[in-house]
Structure 1
């Protein structure tokens, strides 16, 4: 069955045209014009059942807390996710400051536990979202975000790299900084998951869960984000971070870097080693 037919059935309408936008991980990406004139973004996959549902759950959960800052979900099933098409614009200082305030408002929403009430995914890898209210964030992070990826990463990290990450896991309580309640976070907030629009930035493609708010900010810094200083300044004005947050960033960056090692191999080894060493130096 063609994508146009499947999309029409999902949306209970017809599709006037589809443009292919390439691939990402196991997804194909598309822009479609519907019979009612709407312009939509479509993500399609035949693999990893549940991944698109998790993405939709995350967008809706984040959108309930920050509706103006998160892409809305038009429709979803096991193989298709449909969002409004968001025309891109240049990231202005004003939009970055607004995003900083939006993230601060989002993080102010406190779920009952770390984790989320749906099975998680990050890219094409499962993400353990088991909700845990009894555990500290540090221990939850070690057990749910670091340890699960270490076996698959081990052949690229080598024994020395594995031991470094294990030292972080062993010392995580001392490295994590002051305790904070769970925050509603995006969970995969690199610059490619921000859609800069004319009026404001909108978040897409989350690995959303109740976590530590420093995680989102560390992820923004990991691969670089436009206007990051303006964004962080506005965030700090709205919801100041605990002292030492910059020094703790490598701890929060260790999880996405481990994910990158599992997905892309040895090319990310040195970044994992550097992050682990920096985390242990706090």
Structure 2
């Protein structure tokens, strides 16, 4: 990937001709248009990655609860979207983000595991494959699509012994009792770690780089906590208040289920990076089992 490729993609997908560029890292390039303005050109990591991300951004942005970058176009190789100049976190932005996220979750989804409209079943989370297939209940979805496939990959990579993988088998068997009170599928960002909360110069917080699907709203909250999102407690406090105001308070014991919902991103990181993440995954499973 280089700047020339990004400029060529923008010229294919937008009527404006590209001017100069600079890299954001991670396969993304900011392109200044000769007609004015800037866009981000992001190189896809694999088949259907751009279609999945474009569908996710449109689905998350459709109700207007939280700002997300507008999609200008995509093809098999590149996704071109709105560039949002970065700013600094603020308490006001954090609280607005928390309230907006609560509203977004309650927009709902057709089913657990449902992809965004127009999104593929075989999607991506970061650089890892992720399957989105509609499922009747969250415990079944979480076991079959978010735990078991990644545990198998970890076993194949020699990261888990048979004794360690059995911990995840026990957890999956007990998911109906560990999951808390059943609730409707949420409209989930799906990869809401701190790097995907973008603080903008206009004093707002944006959602970027989604792995969107129908899921459990506690999953986004747990992922925000996993890698230390700035001003997290302001986000969470505003979220909890808003959820109650909307008549859909979080279920009792949701803070005790953080490790359960962090298990999926930890397993993904184990598959991609191994080592310490595999140990954290085992500890999270043990914590969730109690």
Q: TM-score, normalising length from structure 1? A: 0.93
The unaligned stretches of length 5 or more in structure 1 are none
- For the 8 Å contact 1:20–1:31, the answer to whether it is kept is yes
4+ aligned runs moved over 6 Å, structure 1: none
SS at the partner of 2:150? helix
Q: What is the CA distance between 1:233 and its match in structure 2?
A: 0.6
Q: What is the CA distance between 1:49 and its match in structure 2?
A: 1.4
SS at the partner of 1:230? helix
Instruction: Name the structure 2 match of 1:161.
Output: 164
- For the 8 Å contact 1:110–1:210, the answer to whether it is kept is yes
- The CA deviation string for residues 65-86 of structure 1, in whole angstroms up to 9 with x for no partner, is 2354222212111111112111
Q: 2:134 aligned to 131, 148, 160, which one?
A: 131
1:44 and 2:43 equivalent?
A: yes
Q: What is the CA distance between 1:125 and its match in structure 2?
A: 2.0
Instruction: Name the structure 1 match of 2:246.
Output: none
Equivalent residue pairs, number: 274
- For the 8 Å contact 1:69–1:99, the answer to whether it is kept is no
- For the 8 Å contact 2:65–2:101, the answer to whether it is kept is no
Instruction: Name the structure 1 match of 2:257.
Output: 248
Instruction: Name the structure 2 match of 1:203.
Output: 207
The unaligned stretches of length 5 or more in structure 2 are 244-248
- For the 8 Å contact 1:218–1:250, the answer to whether it is kept is yes
- For the 8 Å contact 1:157–1:266, the answer to whether it is kept is no
Moved more, 57-66 or 109-118: 109-118
After the TM superposition, which residues 1-282 of structure 1 pair with which residues of structure 2 at under 5 Å, given as runs?
Answer: 2-23=5-26, 28-45=27-44, 47-66=45-64, 68-117=66-115, 118-119=120-121, 120-132=123-135, 135-154=136-155, 155-197=158-200, 198-239=202-243, 240-281=249-290
- For the 8 Å contact 2:187–2:214, the answer to whether it is kept is yes
Distance 2:66 2:130 in 1: 26
- For the 8 Å contact 2:13–2:80, the answer to whether it is kept is no
- For the 8 Å contact 1:161–1:273, the answer to whether it is kept is yes
Change (3 A) 1:68 1:275: closer
SS at the partner of 1:104? helix
- For the 8 Å contact 2:65–2:103, the answer to whether it is kept is no
Moved more, 167-176 or 153-162: 153-162
- The CA deviation string for residues 83-135 of structure 1, in whole angstroms up to 9 with x for no partner, is 21111111101100000001011011122211224222111222111112xx2
Q: TM-score, normalising length from structure 2? A: 0.91
- For the 8 Å contact 1:51–1:124, the answer to whether it is kept is no
Moved more, 119-128 or 245-254: 119-128
- For the 8 Å contact 2:101–2:239, the answer to whether it is kept is yes
Distance 1:66 1:167 in 2: 40
Moved more, 151-160 or 269-278: 151-160
